[in-house]
């Protein structure tokens, strides 16, 4: 009989019993725990939070059940709770009022904008909590794109110049990690140089290295107010084609060469193969973003009673660990941290 990939002696001829029974260690909780290969820890969590400039402490995000947009003061409070739960880092995402948006995204580089206020408030309240901010223009532009738009095209190098200013501004407010999420070419190197020249050699860069043009961002765009500005326009001239995998490795290689300390794959669940390839190829700190659409899918199904939301949440996050992620950006972070306690 030809060898078909299975051990030849599944049944030991001497005893008539299977030599190996993989069910044996699955019998008890203690032995399942003993043989578990991966585990999720609170140290793996990055919590993305939405902040707005108004006084209303909490405004529910309709497209993301259970997620709030916080005022700056309220954000400082919830950041303290997150830190008390052991969450290492929060990511601050601004909701920007329509009247502050323009074609250049000027508010992104305006002194003391809502991002700066939020970072300062959080760092004052909880100095030990890491704070991360996006470098991208989409919450600030009237057209909803991550970069400058001219005659229907996104201008790469001109956008990068603004991203450098945005990054330095956020670093001066106290931001610990700059996360370029714009997918312009060359932005990581330019931002690294800009930060270094401004005296922020200690500020880290986690690049959205392999960021795909994804349908799973829709609930986020509603939350930050870029859904209406972007409309049906596509980000496919700068975000990656979901068909590609080798290209993700090229993106990651460039970002590492340009000085990224950590790299991210986004979205998460449909791209676990990319997480695995990146981790195996480069061995650098690798993160995955379980994006808004992934969160809302689980929440919506749970609300209808179609699945056990808590179980699906934990299983989805363990999947990231199994794929090789060192950490996960997830809107479930606080819930998970409470469960892990
Ligand atoms: C902005 C940005 C987006 C997300 C994070 N930063 C949206 C986009 O690229 O359109 C999506 C996050 C999520 O869906 O949870 N560049």
270-309: pLDDT as tens digits: 999 999 999 999 999 999 999 999 999 999 999 999 999 9
147, with CB counted inside 10 A (0-12, 13-18, 19+), is: buried
Tell me: pLDDT of 169 over 90.
yes
Nearest to 229 by CA among 308, 284, 149: 149
Instruction: Determine, yes or no, domain membership for 9.
Output: no
Query: Domain for residue 180, yes or no?
Result: yes
Mutate to test the pocket of ligand 1, among 136, 182, 226 (most ligand atoms within 8 A of CB): 136
Ligand 1 pocket member 170 (CB < 6 A): no
pLDDT above 70 covers a percentage of the chain that reads 97
List, by residue number, the catalytic residues. 211, 266
Relative to the CA of 290, which ligand 1 atom is closest?
A: 15
**Confidence class of residue 5 from pLDDT cuts 50, 70 and 90?**
low
Residue 197 assigned to a binding site: no
Look at residue 12 in the predicted model and tell me its pLDDT.
Answer: 83
- Reported ipTM exceeds the 0.90 cut: yes
Q: Is residue 168 part of a domain?
A: yes
DSSP one-letter code for 49: E
Q: Is 265 contained in some domain? A: yes
Domain count, the chain: 1
Pocket test for ligand 1, best of 135, 291, 329, 331 (most atoms within 8 A of CB): 291
Q: In CATH, what number is assigned to the domain containing residue 296?
A: 3.20.20.70
Instruction: Kindly give the number of the ligand 1 atom that is closest to the alpha carbon of 329.
Output: 15
* Within a domain: 4: no
Q: Nearest residue CA, atom 2 of ligand 1?
A: 181
What pLDDT is recorded for position 8?
A: 58
Residue 163 lies in a domain: yes
Lowest mean pLDDT, pick from 182-191, 216-225, 277-286, 300-309: 216-225
Tell me the CA–centroid distance for residue 98 and ligand 1, in Å: 18
**pLDDT (tens digit per residue) in 105-147:** 999 999 999 999 999 999 999 999 999 999 999 999 999 999 9
Residue 14 lies in a domain: no
CB of 222 closer than 8 Å to CB of 61: yes
Residue 146 near ligand 1, beta carbon < 6 Å: yes
Question: Does the pLDDT of residue 224 top 90, yes or no?
Answer: no
Residue 128: inside a domain, yes or no? yes
> What tens digit of pLDDT does each residue of 60-119 get?
999 999 999 999 999 999 999 999 999 999 999 999 999 999 999 999 999 999 999 999
Return mean pLDDT, the chain: 96
At residue 6, does pLDDT exceed 80? no
Output the CA 221–ligand 1 centroid distance in Å: 7
Specify whether the CB–CB gap between 45 and 199 falls below 8 A: no
Burial class (CB within 10 angstroms; exposed 0-12, middle 13-18, buried 19+) of 55: exposed
CA dihedral 70, 262, 251, 103 (to 10 degrees): 30
Q: Which domain holds residue 130?
A: 40-340
């Amino acid at each position: 009989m030809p060898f078909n990939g299975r051990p030849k002696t599944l049944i030991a001829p001497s005893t008539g019993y299977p030599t190996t029974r993989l069910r044996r260690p699955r019998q008890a909780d203690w032995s399942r725990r003993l043989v578990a290969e991966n585990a999720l820890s609170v140290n793996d969590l990055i919590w993305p939070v939405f902040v707005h400039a108004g006084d209303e402490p909490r405004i529910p995000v309709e497209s993301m059940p259970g997620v709030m947009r916080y005022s700056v003061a309220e954000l400082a409070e919830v950041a303290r709770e997150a830190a008390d739960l052991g969450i290492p880092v929060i990511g601050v995402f601004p909701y920007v009022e329509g009247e502050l948006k323009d074609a250049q995204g000027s508010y992104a580089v305006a002194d003391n904008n809502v991002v700066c206020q939020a970072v300062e408030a959080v760092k004052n309240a909880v100095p030990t909590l890491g704070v991360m901010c996006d470098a991208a223009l989409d919450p600030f532009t009237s057209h909803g794109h991550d970069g400058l738009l001219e005659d229907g095209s996104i201008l790469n190098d001109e956008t990068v110049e603004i991203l450098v200013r945005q990054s330095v501004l956020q670093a001066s407010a106290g931001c610990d990690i700059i996360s370029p999420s714009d997918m312009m070419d060359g932005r990581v190197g330019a931002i690294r140089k800009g930060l270094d020249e401004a005296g922020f050699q200690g500020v880290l860069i986690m690049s959205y290295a392999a960021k795909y043009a994804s349908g799973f961002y829709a609930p986020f765009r509603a939350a930050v107010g870029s859904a209406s500005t972007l409309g049906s326009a596509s980000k496919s001239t700068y975000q990656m084609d979901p068909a590609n995998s080798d290209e993700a490795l090229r993106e990651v290689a460039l970002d590492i060469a340009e000085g990224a300390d950590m790299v991210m794959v986004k979205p998460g669940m449909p791209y676990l193969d990319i997480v695995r390839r990146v981790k195996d190829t480069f061995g650098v700190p690798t993160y995955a973003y379980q994006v808004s659409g992934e969160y809302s899918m689980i929440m919506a199904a749970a609300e209808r009673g179609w699945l056990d939301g808590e179980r699906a949440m934990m299983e989805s996050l363990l999947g990231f660990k199994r794929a090789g992620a060192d950490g996960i950006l997830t809107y479930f972070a606080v819930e998970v941290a409470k469960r892990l306690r």
